[in-house]
Amino acid sequence: MAHRLQIRLLTWDVKDTLIRLRHPLGEEYATKARAHGLEVEPSALEQGFRQAYRAQSHSFPNYGLSQGLTSRQWWLDVVLQTFHLAGVQDAQAVAPIAEQLYDDFSRPCTWQVLDGAEDTLKECRSRGLRLSVISNFDQRLEGILGGLGLREHFDFVLTSEAAGWPKPDPRIFQEALRLAHMEPVVTAHVGDNYLCDYQGPRAVGMHSFLVVDPQALDPVVRDSVPKEHILPSLAHLLPALDCLEGSSPGL
């Protein structure tokens, strides 16, 4: 006789799932630049950052740890290149701005908890679910979550820097399962990125949910994901879990 599936562990993405920057990145960068006597358009910095981040991630994956970089140096290089792409050629002038931005982005006050996040985490724990984090983030995440009052909800926080592999690499999900002493079939992951947070965990046998506006998804992606796995807000998570547990034949 088949047993009813019961999810026992929820793993969570963090950025843009539970927390986000309090101000747009371009504005943050422009404000710090202005304090150092540089006037740069926020839109130029936003565009420059996207290009710099993409290039740095391609050349030095997962903060370049396997190539001898530290995550701090990786980020400082991204900021320097961001300003360069935005038209600031004086790297010496940008260096102290980069240092300040790295420190500022370590501070909880730079971030804000998304609506419904804390209530959802509390409701999950009241159901007896274990919670943990799997995030493509660096060593600053523990302090940020602690300062925002969210760290207490999680058994552990596994970052890509600590694990050595970024999502969607299956090894980071397997490491989380090892730390939690859980089988993938009783574990579900929650996040906002299709490749990292939906496909990645499913590749190791976990369940997964996307927290995203369905209309914001690429139509091809949207059509490939069952509607019950797409959560327009975190308030939809527990009903989606009920649906998953009720419709699955289980173990």
Write the pLDDT tens digit of every residue in 64-83. 999 999 999 999 999 999 99
How far apart CA 153 and CA 113 sit, in angstroms, is: 14
Q: 34 and 150 share a domain?
A: no
Structure confidence at residue 203 (pLDDT): 98
Q: 129 and 103 share a domain?
A: no
Q: What is the pTM of this model?
A: 0.93
Residue 15, CA distances (Å) to 6, 69, 206 in order:
27, 23, 20
- Per the structure, the complete domain to which residue 82 belongs is given by 22-110
Confidence of residue 2 (pLDDT cuts 50, 70, 90): low
Structure confidence at residue 111 (pLDDT): 98
Structure confidence at residue 246 (pLDDT): 85
The pLDDT tens digits for 12-26 are 999 999 999 999 999
Contacts 24+ apart (CB under 8 A), 237-240: 237/120, 237/124, 237/190, 237/209, 237/211, 238/120, 238/123, 238/124, 238/127, 240/209
Q: 147 and 192 share a domain?
A: yes
Boundary (domain end) residue, out of 110, 128, 146: 110
Q: Are 155 and 180 in contact (CB under 8 A)?
A: yes
Q: 73 and 135 share a domain?
A: no
CATH of the domain at 26: 1.10.150.720
pLDDT over threshold 60, residue 39: yes
Q: Which residue has the higher pLDDT, 251 or 71?
A: 71
Q: Does 2 fall in a domain? A: no
Total domains present in the chain: 2
Q: If you average pLDDT over residues 95-100, what whole number do you get? A: 98
Q: 106 and 29 share a domain?
A: yes
Q: If you average pLDDT over residues 238-243, what whole number do you get? A: 95
Q: Does 79 fall in a domain? A: yes
Boundary (domain end) residue, out of 59, 92, 110: 110
Q: 133 and 218 share a domain?
A: yes
Q: Does 156 fall in a domain? A: yes
Q: 72 and 140 share a domain?
A: no
Q: Is the dihedral of CA 75, 176, 232, 141 positive or negative?
A: negative
Residue matched to tokens 């404000």:
31
Q: Are 172 and 160 in contact (CB under 8 A)?
A: yes
